[in-house]
Amino acid sequence: MNDTVRESLSALMDGEASELELRRILSADEKAIRTEWADLHRSQELLKNESNPFIGWDISSRVMAEIADDELVNSGGTGWKQAVSGLAIAASVAAVVVIGSMGGNMFGGSPQMVAENNGVSGRVYPAQASAAVGGVAVSAQAQASPAGPLLNNDAEARKRFEAYLRKHTDRAAFNNGQGMVSYARVVSQESE
Amino acid sequence: MLVRLASTALAAALVSAPAASIESGSELLNRMTHSHRELNYRAIVTYQLGEQLSSYRITHTVHDGKEFEALESLDGDHQDLVHHGHDINCVHPGPQLIRLFNAEEEQGFYRYYDVDIVGEDRVAGRDAVTLSIKPRDVYRLGYKLSLDNETGLLLRSDIVNQQGKVLERFQYAMLDLNIPDDELLVEGAIEVEHKDVSLDNPATTQLRVWRPDWIPAGFTPLKDTDDGSAAISYTDGLAVMSVFVEPLVTADSGAVAVTEGGMRRGASVSYTVAFPDNGMFATVVGEVPMLTAKQVAKSLSWDQR
């Protein structure tokens, strides 16, 4: 992270960041920013001689871990269904937007309603909409669920997973403190 | 009055401390890492994954300073796995991370986990002490381990995710410590090759042209002499994860269809990422949260040649 970003961050903490500085921070390296942000707070607290029981807590990484797990749980449907529903939602949003703006332009009335419709489409469906524009079903899947059952249903990927898990267990059994029992993970999988 | 209150509180604290606290959590953990290699025993173990339960017979003996062990499935298809002749003195880095330090030092393993004795239990008809091992960051899973009071053997193990959900459970249903040490010296048993796993050394690192730019703090690389260029594993003492790298196109099977994504089974996850610019794809497999596997897989970089 360069000094400009660091200064912008410091300004943000003092509540004095400009629009430009905010943009600079948002486009900078995420991990470095987080560390720097925590460091700034820590040094400020030290200066003010305050103690904070939550010091050193990085809630953002915990939230990201939860999201990574949620993606797995929520992406229960098969790939094509998700892709199709994603496209369908995107299409319906597009329709709403079109009707909404037509309403605004053609009849001259209720500009408020137009704003509302646009607001909804912008807030809820940006990911699906952009995938639909790309026109590739696979990219819609990848965005909806970057992990999990998607590949669990893929026979090739599953075969690879089994082979890797066996090799991994050869190494893990000597190092995880559990020994031979670890192989139950491999054997139970193969007998399914 | 205040003094009396204080002394009552102290007495209460003393009474509520578990009897097994003569041994600290770190001493118990240390005993766990080597007792399963040093004793002669036969056990029935159940392995539970969600709704699915399977059982195994495990036999372990030490004969002439070498370990012999067998795992036999007791339901479904009959499957046997035999390990013969592993040198009892062979040292592996995982247990070392636990053995070399204790909880008070906050070093090695104990920098990344909080280890607490949570109580006493009875497993497989034996008295056990239960340890709670909680990760201090989001990159590891948690453990609830019940260890045999007498031997330190791991009798029950729950692996728990960051949200507190049990992902898989091993539990002994029966343990017999009185078996002869030549129990497993059977004719014609297939000897499973023991791979020499030790701390990473520069010789194999040079063979490998790729590396993860990020692994969670506290994970130590293991060296595998067989395929140092295609795989590397890391451990923090309890969790182990392995990175496998393969070409996207091979001579015999042509192009491999690789989709980026994860897979999960019990506590084990994998995450695969393709690196088309390098013509390779990488898969991280391990008993770690999906976030960890994903971040490690995505961080891979190749040497510029």
Write down all domains in chain B, each with its CATH number in brackets: 15-176 (2.50.20.10), 197-302 (3.30.200.100)
How many helices and strands (H and E) does chain A possess?
11, 0
Distance between CA atoms of B149 and A22, rounded to whole angstroms?
58
Q: Find the mean pLDDT for residues B123-139.
A: 94
A188 lies within 8 A of chain B by CB? yes
Q: Which of B143-157, B225-239, B250-264 has the largest mean confidence?
A: B143-157
Asked whether the beta carbons of residue A183 and residue B81 sit closer than 8 angstroms, the reply is yes
Out of A147, A180, A189, closest to residue B69 by CB: A180
Average pLDDT over residues B11-19: 47
Q: Which residues of A touch B241 (CB under 8 A)?
A: 168
Q: Is A143 on the interface with B (CB under 8 A)?
A: no
Residue B178 has pLDDT above 60, yes or no: yes
Query: Residues B55, B74: contact at Cβ < 8 Å?
Result: yes
Fill in the amino acid letter for A87.
L
Is pLDDT at B108 greater than 90 in this prediction?
Answer: no
Residue of B291, B292, B234, B299 whose CA lies nearest to B273: B299
The mean pLDDT value for B61-88 works out to 82
Are the CB atoms for B257 and B243 separated by under 8 Å? Answer: no
What pLDDT is recorded for position B186?
Answer: 55
Q: Which amino acid is at A40?
A: L
Task: Using an 8 Å CB-CB cutoff, list chain B residues near A187.
Answer: 56, 71, 73, 79, 81
**DSSP-assigned beta bridge partners for residue B44:** B57, B174
Q: What is the pLDDT of residue B147?
A: 95
CA angle in degrees (0–180, nearest 5) for A174-A175-A177 = 95
Looking at residue A75, what is its pLDDT? 45
- Residue B168, phi then psi, degrees to nearest 5: -160, 155
Q: In Å, what is the CA distance from B108 to each residue of B22, B221, B235, B236, B305? A: 23, 14, 11, 8, 35
**Rounded distance between C-alpha atoms, residue A175 and residue B208, angstroms:** 22
Q: What is the pLDDT of residue B15?
A: 47
pLDDT per position in chain A (192 positions), as tens? 678 888 888 888 777 788 888 888 887 777 777 778 877 777 777 777 666 666 556 667 777 777 776 655 444 444 444 445 445 545 544 444 444 344 333 443 333 433 333 333 333 333 333 333 333 333 333 333 344 444 666 788 888 898 999 889 888 888 888 888 888 888 766 544
Give chain A positions within 8 Å (CB) of B244.
164, 167
Can you tell me which residue has the tokens 């599953």?
A158
The residue ranking higher by pLDDT, B286 or B34, is B286
Q: Which residue has the tokens 């300004």?
A: A11
Q: How many residues does chain A have?
A: 192
So what's the pLDDT on residue A184?
86
Q: Which residues of A touch B231 (CB under 8 A)?
A: 167
With CA atoms as reference, report the closest residue to B239 among B116, B140, B170: B140
B73–A156: do the CB atoms touch at under 8 Å?
no
- For A:40-99, CB contacts with B below 8 A are 61-62, 64-66, 68-69, 72
Residues sharing a CB contact under 8 Å with residue B210, sequence separation 6 or more, in sequence order? B245, B278, B280, B282, B300, B301, B302, B303
Residue written as token pair 């596997």: B293
Between the alpha carbon of residue A96 and those of residues A91, A113, A126, B241, the distances in Å are: 9, 11, 14, 48
Contact state of A177 with B32 under an 8 Å Cβ cutoff = yes
SS3 content of chain B, % helix, strand, coil (to 5): 20, 45, 35
Mean per-residue pLDDT for B123-128?
95
Quote the minimal CA–CA distance from B264 to chain A in Å: 6
> Chain A within 8 Å of B124 (Cβ-Cβ)?
no
Q: How many residues does chain B have?
A: 305
> At residue B159, does pLDDT exceed 90?
yes
User: For A17-26, A132-141, B32-41, B122-131, which range has the lowest pLDDT when averaged over its residues?
Assistant: A132-141
- Which burial class, exposed, middle or buried, applies to A109 when counting CB atoms under 10 A from its CB (0-12, 13-18, 19+)? exposed
Q: Determine the distance in angstroms separating the CA of A48 from the nearest CA of chain B, rounded to an integer.
A: 27
Distance (Å) from the C-alpha of residue B292 to the closest C-alpha of chain A? 8
Helices (H), B39-185: 93-99
Tell whether the model's pLDDT for residue B149 goes beyond 70. yes
Average pLDDT over residues B34-44: 91
User: Which letter, b or e, does each residue of A24-58 get, where b requires 16 or more Cβ atoms within 10 Å of its Cβ?
Assistant: bbeebeeeebeebbeebeeeeeeeeeeeeeeeeee
The reply to whether A191 touches chain B by the CB within 8 Å rule is yes
A158 at B interface, C-beta within 8 A: yes
Distance separating alpha carbons of residues B219 and B221, to the nearest angstrom: 7
Q: Above 0.85 for ipTM, yes or no?
A: no
Is there a contact between B112 and B218 (Cβ–Cβ < 8 Å)?
yes
Separation in Å, CA of B71 to nearest CA in chain A: 7
Is B137 in Cβ contact with A180 (below 8 Å)? no
Which residues, at least 6 apart from B51, have a Cβ–Cβ distance to it below 8 Å? none
pLDDT at B161: 92
